Amino acid sequence: MMTSRKSVINIGLLGLGTVGTGVMQILAKNRADIAAKTGSELKITKALVRDPSKTRPHLDPAVELTTDASSVLTDPAIDIIVEVMGGIEPARQYIATALEHGKHVVTANKDLMALCGYELFSAAQEHNKNIYYEASVGGGIPLIRPIKHCLAANRIRSIMGIINGTTNYILTQMTAAKKDFQDALAEAQAKGFAEADPKNDLEGRDAAYKLAILASLAFQSVVNVDDIATESIVEMSVRDIMYADELGFVIKLLAIGEETQEGLKLRVHPTLVPKDHPLASVHNEFNALFLVGDAVGELMFFGRGAGSLPTASAVVADVIEAVHNIHHGIENHAIEMTFAAKPVVPMSRSRSKFYVRLKAKDQPGVFGSVATVFGDAQVSLDMILQTRRDVNLAEIVLVTHEVVEHNFYQALERIKQLDSIRNISNVIRVLERG
Amino acid sequence: MMTSRKSVINIGLLGLGTVGTGVMQILAKNRADIAAKTGSELKITKALVRDPSKTRPHLDPAVELTTDASSVLTDPAIDIIVEVMGGIEPARQYIATALEHGKHVVTANKDLMALCGYELFSAAQEHNKNIYYEASVGGGIPLIRPIKHCLAANRIRSIMGIINGTTNYILTQMTAAKKDFQDALAEAQAKGFAEADPKNDLEGRDAAYKLAILASLAFQSVVNVDDIATESIVEMSVRDIMYADELGFVIKLLAIGEETQEGLKLRVHPTLVPKDHPLASVHNEFNALFLVGDAVGELMFFGRGAGSLPTASAVVADVIEAVHNIHHGIENHAIEMTFAAKPVVPMSRSRSKFYVRLKAKDQPGVFGSVATVFGDAQVSLDMILQTRRDVNLAEIVLVTHEVVEHNFYQALERIKQLDSIRNISNVIRVLERG
């Protein structure tokens, strides 16, 4: 082979928290296997930490701990910088410095890739280096590499993911154990599946960041996070989950991207998913990405979307690819720099199928008046459940056919004003059966 | 970049059946995208066919059809040979000739890779060329590349797959529509999911070939197909499926590989899969591979395991990788040549959990005598169902705990000889809950 192999590859680690520790553990445990696969010994020589005196259970004594970022970033002996500190600053500046100093970069930083991806790819291209980011989405599940390489023969039509473990855990517990939202959230926090401040997860912002990264690759477009419509799961109730069950659905927080002739459609919202859809059986903290390619058809990738070792598995796979590329002199192949910025279709012009739960006076003609308003707005109904709630109040659950969002919400405004309607309890989008 | 790009890559196609036609269609339809990704125009210049005069709906008129294999294999203008003819001979000889003449090879040939993989990798190494075979297993589902690259940081502990669409279609129809085996088979044949002679599929041989390819990569061992124990699905009845349902299981044909301290365990057999396992919701003609890695944990890949365009999607992904490697002078990186041949544990020494259905005289003490025989052989029971079949005959269904196969079958022999036992209707292995 016409390649010059470096017998040792030196790695600088930025951050030694959950993921950084996992990276260190994997490189120690599977050292011999990885050396056989890459033809090089992989050594973490330095790790940037806040507090070098802290007790660290899996610490490799050969690793020099330092609080001085530039001693890692500019060390001429280091080949690859692994950034697992998270957050925008100073991670962004550190990666820029590392690229300037001729390092390849592996990052697990979702926020940074979603918000500053283009800037980082540009910097990598300018310095003729690569940036790898498999671990930024979906933890250990291979997603970036399969979309980039395994599906390279396809035009991807749509991607749909359960890519936030916190909300999936909560919704699974609400479904399986009929726990209400607050109890399920408290349990998720107790088990470490939800943060003390779970706002970003519950409101779909975390999933939107991940969708931005995935949709960008799938549709070869620079996606702006602000173009992704998000809806929270906090309004979901056990009542909705039980009605959904009766109608043949489970409720999941889906991140959805589609490429249509009008442009990209990008959104994150709670969704009624048909029980026989592969995403319906993705439970608890597990994640999955379901996609449709023009050649491959339906495909799903399932696994652990977070956690120390799963995420570190993706980081180390990237490190191994970086080593391979160093050996073969593949300095820069950022296909991301060739992406256009495709137009995004606003939600109001999207078509969706809706579940509506409302309370009405239990009197003759109520259902007829609701159906008439929908009919006038060209919203046709697919399924109806009516149950008496108490002596005077009836609960009506409807599922529409696919309709233009704008028409639907106009009709809903008029329904709210009907005398016979007490309130609209919830509105949830419904995934059309395949 | 220090690379010399060929602006045109010429491809020779061996075979223009279902998959070959799909390859031609994808390269035509997504030509511009693929050229943008690879930096080269990909052209099929010649295709080896049996009958050049046959009408072919998706034929690209620029492709020269020929019946002369050597005019394709030795053409100095051709860079990559794509073998989609199937079968052992003459495909094996053709691939050897192509490698000798300096071509890279992409193949979708499962039989050849399972039976002659080592020989082909050796030939590729000798001629400093690569052989790509993503399409040989799992149709469009990325499996080879993820195991090789995305999971490179892991030791893979076990793989479990639904990798035969014919049997999965039949078992799904038996489960969902309570069709008996013969009707479900006839329907599968009518829909093109089963061949006229379905023996290789029904008996697990097709799945064993695929398991040999996957297990070889997952466990980095040269796996011999003959070391894989197989069992047919022809004995499965709707009765078993209904009892399984009652006990919380669905019946699937699983191909299973595990690496244990004693060696590899490799087998294909009908299996009771717990309903909450991700493989339980893989229906009809879909395939899936579930695996456990020491870092990544549980992972599943799901999609279409056969068909023209899905399989061609995998072939073209390999072609794109081959082009990338040609551009970067990566001539040969057959990690498969580094594999050892790890020992294989015989089934009789394996531990399994069993489902047993038997018919007994409906008289006092029958169940006690069965339980005693099992107890004496140290086979303990996990679940029991007893239903009266008719006035004189009772049907007993049991599920054991995990036991050594040898002990279990010895006990079963003794049970068969009990006066009170009419017959053992079926014995099926059971997947332990995770």
Is the pLDDT at B1 greater than 50? The verdict is: no
User: At A261, is the secondary structure helix, strand, or coil?
Assistant: coil
Q: Are B100 and B129 in contact (CB under 8 A)?
A: no
State the nearest Cα–Cα gap between A283 and chain B, in angstroms: 9
Q: Which of A102-106, B161-165, B251-255, B350-354 has the lowest mean pLDDT?
A: B350-354
Topology of the domain covering A8-140+308-338: Rossmann fold (3.40.50)
Give the nearest partner residue to A145 out of B33, B150, B320, using CB atoms: B150
- Domains of chain B, residue spans: 8-140+308-338, 144-304, 350-430
| Chain-chain contact of A294 with B30 (C-beta, under 8 angstroms) | yes
DSSP character for B130?
A: -
Tokens matching residue B308: 């023209």
3-class SS of residue A86: coil
| Contacting residues of A for B280, CB less than 8 Å apart | 281
pLDDT tens-digit map of A371-380: 999 999 999 9
The CATH fold assigned to B144-304 is Dihydrodipicolinate Reductase; domain 2 (3.30.360)
In whole angstroms, what is the distance from residue B106 CA to residue B135 CA? 9
- State the pLDDT at residue B348: 86
From B150, which residue of chain A is nearest by alpha-carbon distance?
A317
* Mean pLDDT confidence for B244-268: 97
> Alpha helix locations (H) across B220-361?
238-247, 308-327
Any residues with CB less than 8 A from the CB of B342 and at least 6 apart, and which?
Answer: B219, B221, B259, B263, B264
Which of helix, strand or coil describes residue A199? helix
CA distance A163 to chain B (A): 14
Q: Are β-strands A297-304 and A286-293 bridged in parallel, bridged antiparallel, or unpaired?
A: antiparallel
| Residue from B290, B246, B46 nearest B147 by CA | B290
| Pick from A315, A319, A335: CB nearest B37 | A335
More confident residue, B282 or A432: B282
Q: How far is A321 from chain B (nearest CA, A)?
A: 8
Q: Please give the structure tokens belonging to residue B251.
A: 């019946």
| Report field, pTM of the whole predicted structure over 0.90 | yes
Q: Which CATH superfamily hosts domain B350-430?
A: ACT domain (3.30.70.260)
Contact (CB<8Å) A153/B332? no
* Residue (of B365, B359, B360, B411) closest to B239 by Cα position: B359
A149 Cα to chain B: minimum distance (Å): 7
- Domain A347-430, architecture per CATH: 2-Layer Sandwich (3.30)
The residue of chain A nearest to residue B288, with distances taken between CA atoms, is: A300
| Residue partners of B351: CB distance under 8 A and separation at least 6 | B402, B403, B404, B405
**What confidence tens digit (pLDDT) does each residue in B286-320 have?**
999 999 999 999 999 999 999 999 999 999 999 99
Instruction: Among A2, A276, A303, select the one facing B296 at the smallest CB separation.
Output: A303
CB contact under 8 A, A293 and B313: yes
Query: Could you list the active site residues of B?
Result: 210
How far is A313 from A317, CA to CA, in rounded Å? 6
Q: Which chain A residues have a beta carbon less than 8 Å from that of B128?
A: 1
pLDDT over 90 at B79, yes or no: yes
As for the ipTM of the complex, it is 0.94
Candidates A360, A404, A400; CA nearest to A384 is: A400
- Per the CB < 8 A criterion, the answer to whether A181 and A234 are in contact is yes
How far is B276 from B250, CA to CA, in rounded Å? Answer: 10
Instruction: Identify whether the C-beta of residue A403 lies closer than 8 Å to the C-beta of residue A380.
Output: yes
On chain A, the residues whose CB falls within 8 A of the CB of B281 are 276, 278, 280-281
Query: Which member of A210, A252, A265, A353 is catalytic?
Result: A210
Q: How confident is the model at residue A391 (pLDDT cuts 50, 70, 90)?
A: confident
Whether residues A1 and B146 touch (CB distance < 8 A) is answered with no
A297 interaction partners in chain B (CB closer than 8 Å)? 140, 303-304, 307, 309-310
Listed in sequence order, the residues at least 6 apart from B347 whose beta carbon sits closer than 8 Å to its beta carbon are: B229, B267, B405
Give the residue on A whose Cα is nearest the Cα of B303.
Answer: A299
**Residue from B2, B313, B323, B336 whose CB has the most chain A CBs within 10 Å, to mutate:** B313
Whether residue B349 is predicted with pLDDT greater than 90 in this model: the reply is no
Q: How many CB pairs under 8 A join A and B?
A: 200
Nearest C-alpha neighbor of B207 from the set B171, B276, B254, B175: B254
Residue A1 has a pLDDT of 40
Q: Which of B220, B297, B309 sits opposite A304 (nearest CB)?
A: B297
Average pLDDT, chain A: 94
> Per-residue b/e over B330-353, b at no fewer than 16 CB within 10 Å?
bbbbeebeebeeeebbebeebebb
- Rounded average pLDDT over A322-334: 85
Per-residue confidence band for A2, with pLDDT thresholds at 50, 70 and 90? very low
Q: What is the dihedral of CA B185, B191, B196, B198, to 10 degrees?
A: -50
On whether the CB atoms of residues B233 and B214 are closer than 8 A, the answer is: no
Is B154 within 8 Å of A338 when comparing Cβ atoms? Answer: no
Q: Amino acid identity, residue A400?
A: T
pLDDT digits (tens, 9 = 90+) for B367-385: 889 999 999 999 999 999 8
Q: Would the pLDDT of A305 be above 80?
A: yes
**Cβ-defined contact of B316 to A29 (cutoff 8 Å):** no
Q: Which of A273-282, A319-328, B385-394 has the lowest mean pLDDT?
A: B385-394
Of A71, A31, A66, A33, give the one whose Cα is nearest residue A50: A66
Q: Are strands A8-14 and A80-83 parallel, antiparallel or unpaired?
A: parallel
In chain A, % of residues over pLDDT 90 = 87
Q: What is the pLDDT of residue B2?
A: 41
| Chain B interface mutation, best of A24, A34, A149, A151, highest count of B Cβ atoms under 10 Å | A149
Nearest Cα residue in chain B from A326: B328
Which of B134, B149, B289 is best to mutate for the A interface (most A CBs within 10 A)?
A: B149
* Closest Cβ–Cβ partner in B149, B153, B331 for A30: B153
Asked if the model's pLDDT at residue A4 lies above 70, the reply is no
Q: Do A298 and B304 touch (CB under 8 A)?
A: yes
